[in-house]
Amino acid sequence: MPVETRHHLTLPAVSGSLEELRGFCKKVLNIHHLDDRIYRQVVLALDEAAANIVEHGYPEGGLQKIEVGIDIQPDRVVIELRDTGIPFNPLSLHQGPKEKGFSKRGYGIHLIRQIMDEIGYRRSDHGENILTMTKRIQEAVSK
């Protein structure tokens, strides 16, 4: 029987869901026996992206959801996050390490940019934020 390559999970958009989300991601990546470094980077990127949705997409809280899709292809891992929160493009944030000194926050998007190969955002006609992140498997060793 072929191994399923597409995996989905829907979670409440609250910070308490992040541990379950990481567990789901680890379980999926374990099925496909990915390199340990890719494994860690993909789990981190997904966690950071979801945490951003909780913080920026649903600042008022409430019974909202995040839909997560993980697609394991032979040469890449593609992660998609969908939410119906307020329009929020994480790529519009230009946060990250300062040249001098340091800031107390804003490292999440910087880390995602550093460890993932492609990141895309669009707002669908149905009012969804759709964030797509791709990690190419062959190049992971050098990043």
Partner 1 sequence: MSQEQAVQAFTFNPKSLDGMVSVTMTGSLSEDNNNKAKDEFLKILKDPPKKLVVDLSRIDYISSSGIALLVSILCRCRQMNCAMSICGLRTDTHELFRLTRLNQVFEIFENLAAAIKAARQDTGPKG
3-state secondary structure of 129: strand
List 13, 25, 28, 29, residue binding partner 1 (CB under 8 A): 29
Binders of partner 1 in range 37-66 (CB under 8 A)? 37, 39-40, 43-44, 47-48, 51, 54
- Considering the rule CB under 8 A, would residue 15 count as an interface residue with partner 1? yes
d(CA 65, CA 102): 33
- Considering the rule CB under 8 A, would residue 81 count as an interface residue with partner 1? no
> Which pair of structure tokens corresponds to residue 133?
């992140």
Please give the single-letter amino acid code of residue 128: E
- Considering the rule CB under 8 A, would residue 30 count as an interface residue with partner 1? yes
Q: Please answer whether residues 79 and 61 qualify as being in contact, where contact means their C-beta atoms are separated by less than 8 angstroms.
A: no
Write the CA distances from 77 to 32, 47, 54, 96, integer angstroms: 10, 15, 23, 24
Residues in contact with partner 1 by CB under 8 A are 15-16, 18-19, 22-23, 26, 29-30, 36-37, 39-40, 43-44, 47-48, 51, 54, 96-97, 102-108, 110-111, 114-115
